[in-house]
Chain A
Amino acid sequence: MIKVTIDNIEVEVEPGTTILNAARQIGGEVVPPAMCYYSKLPGTGGKCRTCLVEVAAGSTADPRPMPKLVASCSTNVMDGMIVKNKTSEKVHENRGGVVEFLLANHPLDCPVCDQAGECHLQDLSYEHGAQKSRFEEEKRTFDPIDIGHTIKLHMNRCILCYRCVHVANNLTENRVHGVLNRGEHAEISTYIENAIENDFSGNMIDVCPVGALTDKTFRFKSRVWFLKPMEAECSCTKCSGKAVLWMFGNEVYRVTARKDTYGEVEDIEGKPGWICNECRFEKKDTAKWNVTGPRVVDRHSVISQGKYETKIDSPTKNIE
Chain B
Amino acid sequence: MKGRKLLIEQVNIPGIETFDVYRKNGGYRSVDKAIKTMSPDDVVEEVKKSGLRGRGGAGFPTGMKWSFLAKPEGVPRYLVCNADESEPGTFKDRYLMEYLPHLLIEGMITSSYALGCNLSFIYIRGEFMWILDILEKAIAEAYAQGYLGKNIIGSGYDLDLRVMPGGGAYICGEETALIESLEGERGNPRIKPPFPAVKGLWGCPTVVNNVESIAAVVPIVNDGGDAYAQIGIGRSTGTKLISASGNLARPGVYEIDLGLSVEEFIYGDDYCRGMANGKKLKACIPGGSSVPILPHYLVSKTAIGEDRLMTYESLADGGFSSGSMLGSGGFIVFDEDQCIVRNTWNFARFYSHESCGQCSPCREGTSWMEKVLYRLENGQGNLRDIDLLAEINKKIEGNTICPLGDAAAWPVAAAIHHFREEFEWHVTNKEESQTRNFGLSKEPVSA
Contacts and interface: CB of A to CB of B under 8 A. Distances in A.
A100 B366 CA distance: 13
B398 A68 contact: yes
Interface string B83-123: 00000000000000000000000000000000000000000
A100 B395 contact: yes
B359 A48 contact: yes
B357 A140 contact: no
A36 B415 CA distance: 34
Interface residues of A, number: 35
Interface string A266-282: 00000000000000000
Nearest to A50: B360
B357 A179 contact: yes
B409 to A, nearest CB: 12
Contacts of B356: 182-183, 186
B191 A98 contact: no
A47 B355 contact: no
B357 A160 contact: yes
A47 B399 contact: no
Interface in A184-218: 184-186
B309 to A, nearest CB: 27
Contacts of B367: 140, 183-184
Contacts of A137: 368, 371-372, 375
A100 B361 CA distance: 9
Interface stretch (A101-109, A236-244, A250-258, A283-291): A101-109
A160 B358 contact: yes
B401 A46 contact: yes
Contact of B400 (A45, A49, A159, A178): A49
B399 A183 contact: no
A183 B361 contact: no
B424 interface: no
A104 B435 CA distance: 32
A46 B194 CA distance: 13
Contact of A184 (B359, B363, B401): B363
Contacts of A316: none
A142 interface: no
B355 A49 contact: no
Contact of A102 (B352, B357, B364): B364
A228 to B, nearest CB: 35
B307 interface: no
Contacts of A68: 398-399
A90 B358 CA distance: 23
Given A101-B365, A137-B371, A186-B356, A94 B395 contact: yes
A97 interface: yes
B353 interface: yes
Contacts of A134: 388, 391
A180 to B, nearest CB: 9
Given A98-B399, A134-B388, A186 B357 contact: yes
A134 to B, nearest CB: 6
Contact of B368 (A48, A104, A186): A104
Contact of A160 (B186, B363, B368, B398): B363
Contacts of A45: 191
A49 B402 CA distance: 12
Interface residues of B, number: 31
Given A46-B191, A69-B399, A134-B388, A183 B186 contact: no
B407 interface: no
A178 B399 CA distance: 24
A92 to B, nearest CB: 12
Interface in A85-139: 94, 97-98, 100-102, 104-105, 134-135, 137
B355 A101 contact: no
B169 A97 contact: no
A214 to B, nearest CB: 21
A186 B363 contact: yes
B364 A105 contact: yes
Nearest to B189: A46
Given A134-B388, A160-B358, A185-B357, A179 B399 contact: no
A134 B356 CA distance: 24
B337 interface: no
Interface in B384-421: 388, 391, 394-395, 398-401
Interface string A147-163: 00000000000011010
A181 interface: yes
B2 to A, nearest CB: 40
Given A45-B191, A46-B191, A94-B395, A182 B360 contact: no
Contacts of A49: 359-361, 399-400
A102 B354 CA distance: 19
Interface in A26-64: 45-50, 52
26 contacts: A45-B191, A47-B401, A49-B359, A49-B399, A50-B360, A97-B361, A97-B399, A98-B361, A100-B395, A101-B364, A101-B368, A104-B364, A105-B364, A137-B371, A159-B360, A160-B363, A162-B358, A179-B357, A181-B357, A182-B171, A182-B355, A182-B357, A183-B353, A183-B363, A184-B363, A186-B363
Given A48-B359, A101-B361, 19 more contacts: A46-B401, A47-B401, A49-B359, A49-B399, A52-B399, A74-B191, A94-B399, A100-B395, A101-B368, A101-B395, A104-B368, A134-B391, A137-B368, A137-B372, A137-B375, A159-B360, A160-B357, A160-B363, A183-B357
**Ranked 8 nearest A-B pairs via Cβ:** A97-B395, A186-B357, A46-B191, A101-B364, A184-B367, A183-B355, A137-B371, A68-B398
